[in-house]
Amino acid sequence: MPLNTTALLQPMDQGIIATFKAYYLRETFAQALARTTGEGAVSLLEFRRKYNVKNAIENVHRAWQEVPGTSMRSAGSSILRRRTGEQPGSSALFRAAVEQIADLGTKKLGFNVLDAANIEELLASHGEELSNNDLLNLEQETASEKEEEKDESVLDNEETDELPLRGFEEMLSMVEALKQKVMDIVPNIHRSTQARRAIDDVFFTYKNTYEAKTKVNSAQPTLFKFFQPKG
């Protein structure tokens, strides 16, 4: 493949991924602000500890919704070699999002040292390979979190069992919407299929629990059963 053509064949590299990451971080900061202020507020540490896959999916969905269609068409036009008019570049959207993140972090969440340079460095690091020290620290942190999760495993199972059917239906509907979004925006069938399978794996337990609850509810007799005419 000729040099400097990879990015053209992968339009998601045309600044859109960076913009999406910034939007995702902005949504996470906004969610943190909502959870750490007002009635029933929790600490930032507690918010981070309880941040789960459902929260992440919600923020991924919101972040993608924020990426304008003009940016997608502008990236695609690099392949088609045509322009539909001057459109605002993803770089401008990225910088605006970074400024909003810095404003949320310093003025609302109380971070002492947080500026555009810090945020851009953080976002760029998400695509880098982890060093041996990074992996070691991550392993230690994961082990510590697993110890904390053991203490709450029984409670978590009870809370899962107590979730209403409507809650399961809404959550699984969001999962299906996310899977469809992946198919819509990822042109590579192999990669999109892998992503869909990964999402299914994450929510496998919830889906099974929902199906079990549905079967139990359908098997439970109701008052109307006693009003059926006799044969």
CA distances in angstroms from 42 to 34, 79, 115, 153, 218, listed in the order given: 10, 47, 25, 21, 39
The rounded distance, in Å, linking the Cα atoms of 153 and 59 is: 25
The reported pLDDT for the residue numbered 88 is 40
d(CA 9, CA 78): 8
pLDDT of residue 210: 79
The answer as to whether 85 is a domain residue is: yes
DSSP 8-state class, residue 106 = I
Q: Does residue 183 or residue 101 have the better pLDDT?
A: 101
Between CA 195 and CA 206, with CA 154 as vertex, the angle to 5 degrees is 30
| Shared-domain flag, residues 96 and 15 | yes
* pTM (global) more than 0.95: no
Last residue of a domain, one of 106, 131, 156: 131
Q: Is the pLDDT of residue 195 over 60?
A: yes
Asked, for residue 87, whether it belongs to a domain, the answer is yes
Q: Are residues 86 and 147 in the same domain?
A: no
Contact, 110 vs 96, CB < 8 A? no
What's residue 8's pLDDT? 44
Residue 136 lies in a domain: no
Q: Are residues 69 and 123 in the same domain?
A: yes
Which one has a higher pLDDT value, 231 or 199?
A: 199
- Contact between 161 and 216 under an 8 Å Cβ cutoff? The reply is no
Helix ranges, 6-131 (H): 6-9, 16-35, 44-50, 53-66, 69-80, 90-103, 116-125
CA-only gyration radius of the chain, Å: 23
| Domain limits for position 93 | 1-131
**Nearest of 224, 222, 209, 206 to residue 54 by alpha carbon:** 206
Mean of the per-residue pLDDT values for the chain? Answer: 72
Query: Last residue of a domain, which of 75, 96, 131?
Result: 131
At residue 217, the pLDDT reads 57
Share of the chain above pLDDT 70, in %: 61
Identify whether 224 is part of a domain: no
Residue 164's pLDDT is what?
73
Residue range 197-225, pLDDT digits in tens: 888 887 888 888 878 877 765 554 444 44
Q: Are residues 73 and 150 in the same domain?
A: no
pLDDT of residue 99: 93
How does pLDDT run across 76-134, given as a tens digit for each residue?
A: 444 444 444 434 445 788 899 999 999 999 888 888 878 888 888 888 876 555 566 65
* Shared domain check, 204 and 119: no
Q: What is the pLDDT of residue 28?
A: 92
pLDDT tens per residue, range 13-67: 446 788 888 999 999 999 999 999 888 888 888 888 888 888 888 888 888 888 8
Q: Is 199 inside a domain boundary?
A: yes
